[in-house]
C-alpha cells in the first residue's frame, strides 16, 4: 500500500506561508499535502495589506504564489482564523505537522507620555487602513493639522511619510482604497517630519526608498546638512565595516541637503539624532541625542536638550511584533514564537510537530525574499522529522471542512478568492486603478459566490458553537 501523504497545515498566507508551501510541495519523499489556513478571505498577507499601493511592481511576486496555489495537493482555507475558528489541538487532530506563518500583527510601543492621546496613531493601523484591511476600516485619521511627525526611519516609516506627502493625483491610479484617497484628498498637512533617534549612517531605510522621497510631485525634501557631519565611528561603519546602503543613503541625503527649496506645497523633513519624549496632542517634545559606542554598535544617548515641534498627527513606526496564538509557546519579549531554526521550542525543548516561518519566526526584518531561505530552513527540518512525527488521528481535509461548517464558518477556497480578485479588478477598471479592494468581509464573501454567498453567521470562539 502507498503510504498516505504527510498532511501539513500552514497558518497564514503571507510570503512565509507561501514559500513554506512551495518547498513542502516540491518534496517527493514524503509527498506532502498542504492546507493553508488564513484568517482573511484574501491571501498574501502584507503583500496585499502592507506593501505600499504606489509600489505595484513589488506585488508581482504574487504570480509566484499563484503557481503554488495551483498545485493539486494545495488547498486554501480562507476566512478561517486559528485560535478563533479552529484550535491548535484541533489542528493536531487533522494534520501531522503545523507551520505557523502568522506574521507580526501588532506594533511596538514608544513608551512615552501621551502615546495614546487622540492624534497618535501606529504605522500598523495607518498602513492596514489605506491598504483596505477589513479590521482597520473603522480607524479615523485626522489630517486637518499643519504638521505630522513620523517616528522611525525604516522603510515602513518611509512609506507612511511618502503616502502622507503625495498628492491625490500621484495615488489615484494605485490600488489604495477609495475611502483612504478621499481622506488624503482632504489633508491639510503642510509639513511631514520623519524623525530618527540615531544618525544617517544608522538609519534603516534603503537607498531606493530614500531616493524616492526626493522625487515627489508637490513636496520638497528637507535635510539639515549639520546632521550629515559624521563622527569617526560612523565613518568607520561606512569605510571599514563597508555598510554599502549607509554610504548610498548618506550620498542621497547630501544631495537633498544641497537642494534649494522648489516652493512646493508640502515639506518632507528628515531630522536625525532625536527621540520622542512626550506627545501633547498638538505638539511633540523631542530630546536631541548624541552617538556613543564603537563602530557597528553605536547607541543614541540623550543630551538633555529638548525641542518642541508642532505635531497634530503622530505616526509611530518603530517596528511590528507578533501576537500569541492560544496553545503555542510565545516569547513575550521578542514578540515571536520561540524556535530553533524553525522548530518550535518550549523551555528549550522542541515541541513535536509544530514549526514556524517568516516574521513570527524571526521578528519583523528583511524583505519579502528573505522569507524564502527562512522557510526552506524550517521545511528542511520538518521533512527530516517526518518519519518520527505522531500521525494525525483524522488526516482528512473533509473532516476539517465539516468541523468548520458545523461552526458556521464560511471557508473561502482559492477558486472563490479568484472570484473576489476578479470582482476587485473589475471595480478598479472604471477608475483606471489596478483594483478597488473590498474592505468588508461580508462584501468579500458575497463576491466569492459559491453555494452560500450570504454573509456568514458564526459563533464567536473555538469550540463555542454547535
Ligand atoms: C508596511 C510594510 C511594507 C512592506 N513593504 C515591503 C516592500 O515594499 N518590499 C518587500 O520586499 N518587503 C516589504 N515588507 C516586508 C514583507 O511584507 C514581509 O517580509 C512579509 O510580508 C512577512 O511575511 P510573513 O508571511 O511572515 O507575514 P505576513 O505577510 O504578515 O502574513 C501573515 C498572514 O497570517 C495571517 N494570520 C495571522 N494570524 C492568523 C491566524 N491566527 N489564523 C490564520 N491566519 C492568520 C494574516 O492574516 C496574514 O495573511 C513590508 C512590510 C510592511 C509591514
Domain spanning 107-320: CATH 3.50.50.60: yes
Residues of the chain with CATH 3.50.50.60: 107-320
CA 327 – CA 466 distance, rounded (Å): 21
Query: Residue 171 pLDDT > 90, yes or no?
Result: yes
Tell me the CA–centroid distance for residue 55 and ligand 1, in Å: 15
Q: Which numbered atom of ligand 1 lies nearest the CA of 61? A: 11
Report the percent of the chain where pLDDT is more than 70.
Answer: 96
- Confidence band for 430, pLDDT divided at 50, 70 and 90: confident
- Confidence band for 453, pLDDT divided at 50, 70 and 90: very low
Q: Output the average pLDDT for the chain.
A: 95
CA 289 – CA 299 distance, rounded (Å): 9
C-alpha cell at 234: 560612523
Q: Please, what's the b/e burial string for 335-370 (b: 16 or more CB within 10 A of its CB; e: otherwise)?
A: bbbbbeebbbbeeeeebebbbbbbbbbbbbeeebeb
With contact defined as beta carbons under 8 Å apart, do 448 and 416 qualify?
Answer: yes
Tell me the CA–centroid distance for residue 50 and ligand 1, in Å: 7
Nearest-CA residue for ligand 1 atom 2 is 50
Query: Residue 227 pLDDT > 70, yes or no?
Result: yes
Residues of the chain with CATH 3.40.50.720: 6-105+322-448
DSSP for 163-174 reads HHHS-HHHHTTS
Ligand 1 contacts (CB < 6 A) are: 11-17, 37-40, 45-46, 50-51, 55, 58, 81-83, 101-103, 105, 127, 156, 159, 320, 325, 358-359, 366-368, 371
Nearest-CA residue for ligand 1 atom 37 is 102
- What topology is assigned to 6-105+322-448 in CATH? Rossmann fold (3.40.50)
- Confidence band for 3, pLDDT divided at 50, 70 and 90: confident
Q: Which numbered atom of ligand 1 lies nearest the CA of 123? A: 1
Amino acid at each position: 500500500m502507498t503510504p498516505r501523504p504527510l498532511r501539513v497545515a500552514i497558518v497564514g498566507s503571507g510570503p512565509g506561508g507561501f514559500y513554506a508551501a512551495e518547498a513542502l510541495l516540491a518534496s517527493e519523499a514524503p509527498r506532502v499535502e498542504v492546507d493553508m489556513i488564513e484568517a482573511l478571505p484574501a491571501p498574501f498577507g502584507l503583500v496585499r495589506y502592507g506593501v505600499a499601493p504606489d509600489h505595484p511592481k513589488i506585488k508581482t511576486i504574487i504570480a509566484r504564489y499563484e503557481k503554488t496555489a495551483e498545485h493539486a495537493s494545495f488547498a486554501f482555507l480562507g476566512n478561517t482564523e486559528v485560535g478563533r475558528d479552529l484550535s491548535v489541538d484541533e489542528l493536531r487532530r487533522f494534520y501531522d505537522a503545523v507551520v505557523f506563518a502568522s506574521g507580526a500583527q501588532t506594533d511596538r510601543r514608544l513608551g512615552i507620555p501621551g502615546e495614546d492621546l487622540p492624534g497618535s496613531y501606529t504605522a500598523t493601523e495607518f498602513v492596514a487602513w489605506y491598504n483596505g484591511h477589513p479590521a482597520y476600516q473603522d480607524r479615523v485619521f485626522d489630517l486637518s493639522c499643519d504638521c505630522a511627525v513620523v517616528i522611525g526611519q525604516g522603510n515602513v516609516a518611509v512609506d507612511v511619510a511618502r503616502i502622507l506627502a503625495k498628492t491625490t493625483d500621484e495615488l489615484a491610479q494605485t490600488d489604495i482604497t477609495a475611502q483612504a484617497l478621499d481622506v488624503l484628498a482632504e489633508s491639510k498637512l503642510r509639513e511631514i517630519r520623519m524623525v530618527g533617534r540615531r544618525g544617517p549612517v544608522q538609519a534603516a531605510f534603503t537607498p531606493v526608498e530614500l531616493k524616492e522621497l526626493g522625487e515627489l510631485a508637490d513636496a520638497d525634501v528637507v535635510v539639515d546638512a549639520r546632521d550629515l557631519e559624521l563622527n569617526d565611528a560612523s565613518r568607520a561603519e561606512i569605510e571599514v565595516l563597508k555598510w554599502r546602503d549607509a554610504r548610498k543613503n548618506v550620498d542621497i541625503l547630501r544631495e537633498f541637503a544641497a537642494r534649494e527649496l522648489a516652493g512646493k506645497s508640502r515639506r518632507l523633513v528628515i531630522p536625525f539624532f532625536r527621540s520622542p519624549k512626550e506627545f501633547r496632542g498638538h505638539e511633540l517634545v523631542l530630546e536631541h541625542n548624541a552617538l556613543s559606542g564603537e563602530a557597528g554598535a553605536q547607541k543614541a544617548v540623550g543630551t538633555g536638550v529638548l525641542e518642541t515641534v508642532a505635531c497634530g498627527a503622530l505616526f509611530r513606526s518603530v517596528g511590528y511584533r507578533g501576537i500569541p496564538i492560544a496553545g503555542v509557546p510565545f516569547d513575550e519579549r521578542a514578540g515571536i514564537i520561540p524556535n530553533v531554526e524553525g522548530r518550535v521550542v518550549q523551555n528549550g525543548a522542541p515541541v513535536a510537530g509544530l514549526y514556524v516561518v517568516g516574521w513570527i519566526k524571526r521578528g519583523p526584518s528583511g524583505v519579502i525574499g528573505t522569507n524564502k531561505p527562512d522557510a526552506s530552513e524550517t521545511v528542511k527540518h520538518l521533512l527530516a522529522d517526518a518519519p518520527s512525527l505522531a500521525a494525525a488521528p483524522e488526516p482528512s481535509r473533509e473532516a476539517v471542512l465539516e468541523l468548520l461548517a458545523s461552526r458556521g464558518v464560511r471557508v473561502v477556497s482559492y477558486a472563490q478568492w479568484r472570484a473576489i480578485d476578479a470582482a476587485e479588478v473589475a471595480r478598479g477598471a472604471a477608475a483606471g486603478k489596478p483594483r478597488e479592494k473590498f474592505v468588508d468581509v461580508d462584501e468579500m464573501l458575497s463576491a466569492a459566490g459559491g453555494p452560500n454567498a450570504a454573509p456568514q453567521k458564526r459563533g464567536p470562539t473555538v469550540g463555542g458553537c454547535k
